[in-house]
Amino acid sequence: MHYQKIKECFNKAYATYDDYAVIQKKIGNKLIELLVNTKQSPKNIIDLGCGTGFITNHIASVFNGFEKFYAIDIANQMLEKAKEKLEENIVIKEHSFDEIDFFNEEFDLVFANMSLQWSENLEATIKHIHENLKSGGILAFSLPLLGTFEELRNKLDMLEFNSVLHLLEVSNFQILESSIYHEKLYFPSMFSALQSIKKVGANFCKDRNKSLIIKYDNFSLTYKIGIFIGRKM
């Protein structure tokens, strides 16, 4: 049920996602920039939660010496958009990353931009990723932290920065990069602010009794995003 609801939200947003995913694009590009600084040359790559594929394309262009590249998402309509962008040498699969078998592959790079927050059990997911990385392989990901959308009357479930670091450490990752990105977006109305969430599919809430209502009058949304790069030890 959890993943079916997520899938429904993102499928409804497939046509508007690219226009509204301002933060997702900024963070994805920043994550790639930091990854380049770690001097990686990955041959086997997987992008978990690739969405419409705009960041996937950037990864493929930067690390263009790859041999295998998988782009994974749970939302089939998002993947239809991705197929319009991505080259034929990128394998596109509809899959939940909590249940993924990683296609009996070991990867040099697992990339997940603004997607792992949808995991039902992030610790188990990170450990599963660790198992499917080659020795010295890299996990690079970003996700919203506690403090994101602080303007909402009903808070969404998000982790603190140090909690994510702890999950990486107990999963035997050497942390190469960890930082927090802050941004506040302003809107002309509460409706437009809430639409900015809905139009990228991020309006799913695990507690369906919680509604997204802004409690202030300035119609802003705060983003506090954690960026992490870890190497398998």
Question: Domain 2-232 classified CATH 3.30.70.20?
Answer: no
DSSP 108-136: EEEEEES-GGG-S-HHHHHHHHHHTEEEE
Degrees, nearest 5: CA angle 121-5-99: 40
**What integer pLDDT is reported at residue 111 of this predicted model?**
98
Higher pLDDT, 116 or 150: 116
Residue 230 forms beta bridges with which residues? 139, 175
For the chain, the residue count is 233
Q: Are 71 and 90 in contact (CB under 8 A)?
A: yes
Whether residue 172 has pLDDT greater than 90: yes
Share above pLDDT 70 across residues of the chain, in percent, rounded to a whole number: 91
pLDDT per position as a tens digit, 107-149: 999 999 999 999 989 999 999 999 999 999 999 999 999 999 8
Higher pLDDT, 193 or 7: 7
Q: Helices (H), strands (E): how many in the chain? A: 8, 8
Whether residue 37 has pLDDT greater than 80: yes
pLDDT per position as a tens digit, 39-86: 999 999 999 999 999 999 999 999 999 999 999 999 999 999 999 999
pLDDT per position as a tens digit, 178-228: 999 999 998 888 788 888 888 877 764 444 434 455 555 568 889 999 999
Q: Are 95 and 72 in contact (CB under 8 A)?
A: yes
**What integer pLDDT is reported at residue 153 of this predicted model?**
67
